[in-house]
Chains A and B, each alone.
Chain A
Amino acid sequence: MLRAALAEAALRGQTSSVDEERRRRAFERLVDQHAARVHALARRLGPAGEADDLVQETFIRAWRGLARFRRDAEVSTWLYRILLNACRDRFRRRALKLPETPERSTPQDPARAVAQRELVDRVFLAVEELPPRQREAILLRTRAALSYAEIATVMGVRVGSVKSHLVAARRALVARFGAELDPRTEAAE
């Protein structure tokens, strides 16, 4: 049994080496193009402090699935879908309420960064308190910059639902933070 399996492995290795190399290059391209955005999303979508792990898990799953994947156009939505499922899995497994993860890079002025961060943290805390689908929709939109159609594919819902989730999420947050969201002169860094 073991010997048969080994033989098969050896055989696979020989026959697919070219494919493998090509796949590896495609994978590296995938990492270069999407890792940053996937990570940015994972920081807020998944449990606190697990972003690195989640991204790694996502790309491992992607690597394993790459052989079955063909069309380039949907690669990003496919990746985000893997990530979303991984995040949902983790929350489900732990039934964990995620605390804030204040990690971000800083503009030049530390004082303003600290103040701004405080608001950012509160906003993300509020995002975490949104109903799960609203939270996912707004994070996919703002952190991964996906279109409504892409969000719908990733979440496995219809575009109409995406729209209403986004309206509800944004209105709730705007109502909650009100004037604090008014564009301050340098708020955009």
Chain B
Amino acid sequence: MSAHPVMRLPALLDGELAPAEAAEVNAHLDACDGCRREAERMQGLDLLLAPREELPLGLRTRLREIPTQHRAPVAVRFRWAAAAVVLMAVGAALLWNRGQPAVDSPTRDVASTPDVPAPISAQERMERALVAGTVEADAYLDELGETILEPLYVASASKDDAVARAALRRLGALGVRDALPVLRRSLDREALRRTAIASLGVLGDPRAVPALRPFLADRATATLAIQSLVRIGEERAAQALADHAAREPGAVVIDALGAVGGEPAARALANMAASGGRFAARARLVAQESEAVLVPALLDVADGRDEHDASRALALLERLAPEDAVRRLAVMLERSTQRVGAARVLARIDSADAVAAVLRAGHAEDLDVVFDGAGPGAEAQLIEELDARDWRRRTRAIELLGRCGGARAVARLAELRGDRALAPHAVEALGRIGGADAVRTLAELGTERRLAAEVVAALGATGRAEAVPEILALAKRSRRLHRAALDALTHIPLPEAVTAIVTLDGGRHLRAPTNHALRQMDATLVKRALIAMLDTENAAGARHALSKLTRRGSRGAP
């Protein structure tokens, strides 16, 4: 096969290779799995980087308006001229305004003295009171009672933005259902939009939700729309927030989901919490307050078809260890993709039911790993399993006790010494359990001749210093045990083990198996231990070993 055309893959994918060259690279891809995978991954990468988002709401309009706001300068002098025109215009506007009554200056007068007959209509008077915002004006408006509604609808369409905004605010606060269409219509008028969004929230009518949705997508209005949806607080509002959170997760929307509560919110939070993304921690925090809803939602994700999401949801469930989830998790054990994750959660739940469910899942090595460091519940259940009739189940329980057993397991495993078939397994499990108790028990079991070799290996597996003298004692019994001891000691990463290996050899010139054993261990550890031995009775052996190691230029520091 020709050399791998890795450097030409990007150009091939980008359609930038000449036809002949492309054909050549394609032919290679047909034949070479490695390059094909690389090409597929590059394609996958392009897919991820490709734009999917739309132009933000309103940006296109703003861009199209650039010509009206920015003159196309032809020369520098022209720019000056444009600036001058603007200045003149501003100046003129200011002068003109000074001549006119300001919007709210007469209002206060009218509102504070509502009885003064003035040549203005009732509508106008109400509008002036609306924008005045003084205590007196409010009192006047309150007095109007229901009769204010019609004038308010009229005012909400006023050309004066301030009047219209005040009318919308009032309509929202009054909570009249009929205000909904007026508020909704006002969303179209840019100057009123923010007020209308806020007032729809105050109004609290869930029918406003569809009208509010689009404003979630616009940065300028998103926060306001979120607040309004929280105020509305009904399921449709929660769903809108959930959809928004999926599109654009953020602290504000997460808090909003927490505040609004309910099923769709909990599900959205669960998704986010399981995602492991930037906001996962916050989502978890917010979601924790509603664990009752979070767990079922997480279970749904875990049970879903997407493996990636499922594993994240399971990881989160593992942390929560929800006891009421045992049954659903047990079902997941039958699926090939989620079984290990589900088993892990079950092991973490650590109730008898949970462990039993994992055990029932059959002889599955892939599940054994979940018992590593499992809790006392698992231990209890496994000990019970030792009484099972099926010897395979018993064997498996012994093995698993090796992964998660404690003091009770040690005692129970020691009782199996009389069982010819199970005793070797029990010894091995004891080695895995480790700990001082296990070492002591193993030392006792070592007195049984037929178990001695297994005991030596298990003592090594404990990796503990206390195991070293026991191994040395057993090694003296036979040549076979001597060899087993050498091997076992290499599994104990301690200077005591190195000393023991040299001591076992006993000669001035170490034998090949001894040297071999030392080479199995960490070179730095071995050298330190050997140097420490130079002052002892085994100095000759240590010196010999050291010289051998140095000559080999072996791993590690001197």
A→B interface (CB under 8 Å): 2, 5-6, 8-9, 12, 16, 20, 23-24, 27-28, 31-32, 35-37, 39-41, 43-44, 52, 55-56, 59-60, 63-64, 66-67, 100, 102-106, 109-115, 117-121, 123-124, 127, 138-139, 141-143, 147-148, 163, 166-167, 170-171, 173-174, 177-179, 181-184, 187-189
- Contact between chains at B301 and A121 (CB < 8 Å): no
Q: Is the CB–CB distance between B74 and A114 below 8 Å?
A: no
CB-defined A-B contacts under 8 Å, sample of 11: A9-B85, A39-B59, A43-B53, A103-B53, A105-B52, A115-B308, A115-B309, A148-B14, A167-B7, A181-B45, A187-B44
Q: Which residues of B contact A12 (CB under 8 A)?
A: 74, 78, 81
| Known contacts A35-B55, A39-B55, A56-B63: A121-B45 contact under CB 8 Å | no
Q: Is A31 in contact with B45, judged by CB distance below 8 angstroms?
A: no
Cβ-defined contact, A105 with B53, below 8 A: yes
B191 within 8 A of A: no
Q: How far is the CA of A148 from the CA of B81 in the complex (A)?
A: 43
Contact between A9 and B10, CB atoms less than 8 A apart: no
Once the chains are docked, how many angstroms separate the CA of A139 from the CA of B48?
A: 11
Residues of chain B whose beta carbon lies under 8 Å from any beta carbon of chain A: 6-7, 9-11, 14, 16, 37-38, 40-56, 59-60, 62-64, 66-67, 70, 72-74, 77-78, 80-82, 84-85, 219, 242-243, 245-249, 268, 271-272, 274-278, 301, 304, 306, 308-309, 312
A24 B67 Cβ-Cβ under 8 A: yes
Could you count the A-B residue pairs with CB atoms below 8 Å apart for me: how many are there?
195
| C-alpha spacing A102/B38, complex, angstroms | 26
* Complexed CA–CA distance, A44 and B254 (Å): 25
Q: Is the CB of B6 within 8 A of A171?
A: yes
In the complex formed, the residue of B with least CB distance to A62 is B66
Are B48 and A119 neighbours in the complex by a CB distance under 8 Å?
yes
A181–B60 CB distance below 8 A: no
The residues of B that contact A111 with a CB separation of less than 8 Å are 271, 274, 301, 304, 306, 309
Docked complex Cα distance between A24 and B70 (Å): 11
**B44 cross-chain contacts in A, Cβ below 8 A:** 181-183, 187
Contact of A114 among B49, B63, B246 (CB under 8 A): B246
Closest to B43 in A: A183
| Residues of chain A with a CB closer than 8 A to B46's CB | 142
A174 touches B42 (CB 8 A): yes
Extra contacts, 6 of them, besides A103-B53, A109-B306, A163-B10 (Cβ < 8 A), are: A6-B81, A110-B242, A111-B271, A177-B41, A177-B45, A183-B44
The main secondary structure of chain B at its interface with chain A is helix
Q: Are A112 and B306 in contact (CB under 8 A)?
A: yes
Closest B residue to A119 by beta carbon equals B48
Residues of A within 8 A of B243 (CB): 106, 110
Which residue of B has the minimal Cβ distance to A58? Answer: B63
Q: Knowing A8-B78, A12-B74, A110-B243 touch, does A103 contact B248 (C-beta < 8 A)?
A: yes
Contact in complex: B64, A114 (CB < 8 Å): no
**Among A44, A124, A141, A174, residue most surrounded by chain B Cβ atoms (within 10 Å):** A174
Residues of chain A lying within 8 A (CB to CB) of residue B277: 102, 114, 117-118, 121
Contact, CB under 8 Å: A63 / B66: yes
Instruction: Judge whether B53 and A178 touch: CB under 8 Å.
Output: no
**B contact residues around A127 at 8 Å (CB):** 49
Residue of B with least CB distance to A100: B278
Known: A6-B81, A36-B55, A39-B56. A118 touches B16 (CB 8 A): no
Q: Which residue of A lies closest to B55 (CB)?
A: A36
Q: CA separation between A24 and B74, bound complex, in Å?
A: 15
Give B277's nearest chain A residue, CB to CB: A118
Q: A24-B67, A143-B50 are in contact. Are A66 and B72 (CB under 8 A)?
A: yes
CB–CB B309/A114 < 8 A: yes
Instruction: Report A149 CB to chain B, min CB distance, Å.
Output: 9
